Structure 1
Amino acid sequence: MSKKVHEFNDIIRKLRKDLFGKGPERIHTVFVENMAVSTLYGNLTPTERFIASKPEGLKMVHASRTSMIQELYSRKTPEGMEELMGTKLLHLFSDIKVEEDLAISVFIFEDKISE
């Protein structure tokens, strides 16, 4: 894993830990052209897992997780992300498969990402 990928993952982990009280247990990120694609494993808190054990709770956890992340990134780019990447963050697409505790985020930057 390159130093840039490691530092990028640390930014994501810290942000989610601050937002949800728990960061992902593992993150795998690849840079492709002007995108960073991150797969996040082990995201849910014990409380979220309990709530998601019922169908209506599962929908609630999914909706709150995805909307909170989208809202946070639309208000402010995480501290140090654009400096690390050397380019401006334009868009974030994020989703979570609650049943498998697996999330994916696609970060789209203005310029091609260099290693």
Structure 2
Amino acid sequence: MTIEHQFNMLVREIRKECVGNGPREITTRFAGSWAISEMKGNLTNIEKFMIESREGHQMVHEARTTLVKRIYEDSAKVKKLEELVRAKLVSIYADINIDLDIAMTVYVFDKDIKVN
């Protein structure tokens, strides 16, 4: 099993635990010290209903981007990622395109990730 696949499984597990459902599809690429994860199928049925209004759209976007950053304030979750890639997590950048239901998270580690 590749490190990308293991990373995807771990991200899905963490998101499912914290949000109630994980992304339908995750693709992760490693570039130096970055892990770049693209996630499709993130929104819950309630969120899909909420985004029908402009206010709901903004609320879901803000909640999703804030929530992702908060998830990784939990040292136990961070430790799992760090053990897998054998590097310390330095920063996270997250955004979601609500209309396309595609989220991107960039995990920045303190050293290059070995993929072989």
Q: Normalization by structure 1: what TM-score?
A: 0.94
Matches of 2:25 and 2:57, distance apart in 1: 22
SS in 2 for 1:62: helix
What whole-Å deviation, never above 9, does each CA across 1:63-100 have from its counterpart, x for those lacking one? 01110111221342625211110110100000001111
What are the residue-to-residue correspondences of 1:18-57 with 2, within 5 Å?
A: 18-57=17-56
What are the residue-to-residue correspondences of 1:10-89 with 2, within 5 Å?
A: 10-76=9-75, 78=77, 79-89=79-89
Partner of 1:103: 103
**Is 1:90 aligned with 2:86?**
no
Matches of 1:77 and 1:64, distance apart in 2: 22
List 4+ stretches of structure 1 deviating above 6 A.
Answer: none
Kept after mapping to 2: 8 A contact 1:96/1:103: yes
Tell me the number of residue pairs that the alignment of Structure 1 and Structure 2 aligns. Answer: 114
Kept after mapping to 2: 8 A contact 1:36/1:107: yes
Identical-residue share of aligned pairs (%): 35
What whole-Å deviation, never above 9, does each CA across 1:9-52 have from its counterpart, x for those lacking one? 01110111111111000001100000000000000000000001
Matches of 2:24 and 2:70, distance apart in 1: 23
Unaligned runs of 5+ in 1: none
CA RMSD of aligned residues (A): 1.2
Q: Normalization by structure 2: what TM-score?
A: 0.93
Kept after mapping to 2: 8 A contact 1:35/1:113: yes
SS in 1 for 2:108: strand
